[in-house]
Structure 1
Amino acid sequence: MRRRIISSLTAFALLTGGVAAIAGTMGNSSAKAAQDASTFKDVPASHWASTAIYSAVEQGYFKGYTDGTFKPGAPVTKAEMASILARLTDQPELQTPEANNFTDVPEWAKSSVSTAIAKGFIHPSSYKGKLDAKAPLSRGEMADWLTQGLCVVNSDYGQALSDVTNTVIPAKEYFTGKLADSQKNAVAVALGTGLMSVANDKTFGVDRTTTRAEVAVLIARYASTSQTKPSDIQGLNELRQVGLTGTNLSVIAPRYQKTSKNKFLDSYDYSKVTDDFFQVRNKNLVTATNYAEVKIRNWIIVNPYTVSSKRSIFYPVFVDEKDSLLRGSYFSFAEFDLNIKDSMTQLQAGSLLQSPSINPLKSPNSKSFLEYSVPHINDFLNSKGTFKVKNPTYWSTGLLHFDKSLTTQVKIVTYDGTDFNVTSN
């Protein structure tokens, strides 16, 4: 299927030396493109996108420049990207697409922009009559366009865009509060599907321009993702579950299930017991001590023993490659909201909830955690270990046990008696 999408693009090439160039048909032109691809002075085999660039040129996506370069870091304009997306023949069209009411699209791109709109990539209603077609396409807009296109391919991608509204996004801007609400959903789905990723500095970079190298990679990724069911993508499933419930527990640790009734006294009201974290998310919790009111925004589980696509999408945020645990435990990370009543020390915070899995005593000290600028308990403590603010919000670290000789039960109770109670079976 990916090959059919790529083949449909062989007639298009991006700007060459500032002038729009159309690639020839396959055959001799393809052979010439392959030769060009092997001699780009600025795309060595070690370049992160070299394989995608060589393939894209061979297939007719791009042409090189007359000086023998590809200029992989050169920006791609919105008009150029619309022209590429318009040629995805396996992308279905909307029955009633929005009208192309843009007044600033150059003549050569008008038809392509209309087609990109019909295929669901571009929503004119999100603009004010002007696409700014000659401007470089930002990564934020790229995320919008690609995820909107996925919604046309499979309506469940549209549901996913809604489900991630309240999720935790594995990008530095999310944790520092610099990711606009209007951008969160598209960025979450772009990351969750693997269409896009964060840079070395851990930022998504919504305002950074999209480069020729990135486009070469993204089109191939889109072709693959559009043929994949959203439910088959673990990272997206995690983001959806966190958005809907506040935790990825059911995805990463499905062995943890509602504690059975026979574990409770006959007099206990079992109707209050739930395995739905949403029922306790952002609710005031019953505490063992009275130093502060406690709420939990999110609870993230990371399995440290898996690799590659089986790893949690949150692994790079919280865990370093060298980190390991004993006796089969998983990492447990909870985001706490505290309302300190008078004063409280870090040790006293640890007495609020007596749980090895969810405890506000300390935050991770991994290099990854610090690089993503995730709120740390130390951000709110003075030199004596006492909280210097009344309402800190930070992430804590704990352990989720599977060894039956340890405490595997996780119990959180709200003031109204709702008992989130799960155990490893």
Structure 2
Amino acid sequence: MKKMILSGVTALALFTGGVIGSGSIGSSVEAAQATLKFKDVPSTHWAAAAINSAVEQGFFKGYSDGTFKPSSPVTKAEMASILGRLTDQPNAAAQEANNFTDVPEWAKGGVSSAIAKGFIIPSNYNGKLDAKASLTRGEMATWLAQGLTVVDPDYKQALSDVTNTVIPAKEYFTGKLASNQKNAVAVALGTGLMSVASDKNFGTDRTTTRAEVAVLISRYANVAKTKPADFQGLNELREVGLRGTNINIIAPKYKVLPESRYPESEDYSKVTGDFAKVRNQELVTKTNYADIKVKNWIVINPYLEGAARSIYYPVFVDENSKPLRGAYYSFAEFEMNIKNSMNQLQAGSLIQTVSMNPVISPSSKAVLNYSVPHINDLLGSKGVFNVKNPVYWGKGLLHFDKELNPEVFLRLKDGTYFKVIPINN
């Protein structure tokens, strides 16, 4: 990876500590040595290495009292100045003018450069950047995602593809994730640029700290040199956004049978293996208690470790949880329109496929921590639904064992039916 260096000679002389420009940088050796003296950044600090690197490269300096203040927030003007000086970042083909009226003099050049490099889009603002305000994580995700679209046009496509995706963050499931930041948060999570906190929230309204920025500088450089298609998590988010499921990535052996293997008595033109044609469409039900749709379908292979795991693993599955006989976990988000009344058991009679079970929701601690909508939240006395239009996640299994009926079959009211099974060739 090519080492990131500073561009321009903008000196932020107004700061005693904080962001610095190339005009006030000593040698990299001196800078690196300086970080070792920060009283508040021990070698065990989670961002110690990134802070050392950021100081060495001249993005930050310490304070006169010997501290770095890793938990102090970074302002929009400061972050714009850092992003504007990333020399590996190309300029955007189409650039808007810096029409902000509230940017301090020392930051105007840096903000203009950040605009030129595509991180900041002035037309998204009302003439004011609120430059002295602390940068939030939501806006940070937006700036970084916008920067990636300049590096590779496929990142721009990715930002569009994730519009209707399921985002592995608590705010998504609680409905508190702002729509204007949702896509950027998805890309930030899918590329590993940013992550959720211990409370499982992304924290869009939380401020971005100096330590976080030090880490993000390095991460952004790595992500910008990587093709979007090389991130499994981002691929899953895009697939779910476009088709409502990640099965093609997690369980690619599940496919629709070719026409040559179907009996002549069946109308093959009605068969589909594309879940996008099933998503949000009314299904044929075996009973008449309610109309039902499947909004999203998430499949998780619980036998993988590390980066090979689904990006949705932490949302639905507890560590070391594995079903029997090599099955994968299958989680479906149901939307129903109950006609009169319906209890929990009657919900299970609507559709009957082991991969999508409307009777129960996942019982993992993970689901509780992420506040995934659960059937128990919608049931009143005697297990009767207390709302007419429940939306919640159900739990099933995706089997590969032929003895356990591995077929996934759903019939739509328009005559189309979704039918996939594991195929080895």
Task: Provide the TM-score with structure 1 as the length reference.
Answer: 0.95
* Contact in 1 for aligned 2:41/2:48 (Cα 8 Å): yes
5 Å-filtered alignment, 1:22-421, equals 22=21, 29-261=27-259, 264-421=262-419
Task: Report how far residue 57 of structure 1 moved.
Answer: 1.7
Task: Report how far residue 317 of structure 1 moved.
Answer: 0.5
Deviations 1:332-391 (A, max 9, x none): 000000111121111111121111101111001111100100100000011311111111
Stretches of 4+ aligned residues off by more than 3 angstroms: 6-26, 260-265
Task: Name the CA shift for 1:19/1:328 in 2 (closer, same or farther; >3 Å).
Answer: closer
Deviations 1:25-71 (A, max 9, x none): 88x63222222212222122232212211222222221111112111
Output the CA distance in 2 between the equivalents of 1:352 and 1:12.
67
* Contact in 1 for aligned 2:293/2:336 (Cα 8 Å): yes
* Contact in 2 for aligned 1:273/1:420 (Cα 8 Å): yes
Q: Secondary structure at the match of 1:405?
A: helix
Output the CA distance in 1 between the equivalents of 2:257 and 2:358.
23
Structure 2 unpaired stretches of 5+ = none
Moved more, 397-406 or 142-151: 397-406
Task: Name the CA shift for 1:327/1:11 in 2 (closer, same or farther; >3 Å).
Answer: farther
Q: Secondary structure at the match of 1:399?
A: strand
Task: Report how far residue 224 of structure 1 moved.
Answer: 0.5
Output the CA distance in 2 between the equivalents of 1:385 and 1:87.
60
Output the CA distance in 2 between the equivalents of 1:357 and 1:156.
33
Output the CA distance in 1 between the equivalents of 2:179 and 2:24.
44
Q: Secondary structure at the match of 1:327?
A: helix
Task: Report how far residue 262 of structure 1 moved.
Answer: 5.4
Task: Name the CA shift for 1:10/1:399 in 2 (closer, same or farther; >3 Å).
Answer: farther
Deviations 1:99-131 (A, max 9, x none): 110111111111111111111000000001111
* Contact in 1 for aligned 2:19/2:61 (Cα 8 Å): no
Q: How many residues align?
A: 423
Task: Report how far residue 393 of structure 1 moved.
Answer: 0.2
Task: Name the CA shift for 1:386/1:405 in 2 (closer, same or farther; >3 Å).
Answer: same
Identity of aligned residues (%): 66
* Contact in 1 for aligned 2:410/2:419 (Cα 8 Å): yes
Task: Name the CA shift for 1:77/1:327 in 2 (closer, same or farther; >3 Å).
Answer: same
Q: Which amino acid aligns with 2:382?
A: K
* Contact in 1 for aligned 2:378/2:386 (Cα 8 Å): yes
Output the CA distance in 1 between the equivalents of 2:262 and 2:367.
38
* Contact in 2 for aligned 1:75/1:210 (Cα 8 Å): yes
* Contact in 2 for aligned 1:9/1:61 (Cα 8 Å): no
Task: Report how far residue 23 of structure 1 moved.
Answer: 5.6
Output the CA distance in 2 between the equivalents of 1:411 and 1:283.
14
Output the CA distance in 1 between the equivalents of 2:13 and 2:141.
20
Task: Name the CA shift for 1:292/1:8 in 2 (closer, same or farther; >3 Å).
Answer: same
Output the CA distance in 1 between the equivalents of 2:8 and 2:402.
57
Output the CA distance in 1 between the equivalents of 2:11 and 2:284.
62
Task: Name the CA shift for 1:43/1:14 in 2 (closer, same or farther; >3 Å).
Answer: farther
* Contact in 2 for aligned 1:14/1:63 (Cα 8 Å): no
Output the CA distance in 2 between the equivalents of 1:81 and 1:424.
49
Q: Which amino acid aligns with 1:247?
A: T
Output the CA distance in 2 between the equivalents of 1:226 and 1:86.
15
Output the CA distance in 2 between the equivalents of 1:340 and 1:20.
58
Task: Name the CA shift for 1:139/1:403 in 2 (closer, same or farther; >3 Å).
Answer: same
Alpha-carbon RMSD across the aligned residues, in angstroms, is: 1.9
Q: Secondary structure at the match of 1:135?
A: coil
* Contact in 1 for aligned 2:19/2:82 (Cα 8 Å): no
* Contact in 2 for aligned 1:165/1:243 (Cα 8 Å): yes
Q: Which amino acid aligns with 2:403?
A: S
Task: Report how far residue 207 of structure 1 moved.
Answer: 1.0
Moved more, 69-78 or 255-264: 255-264
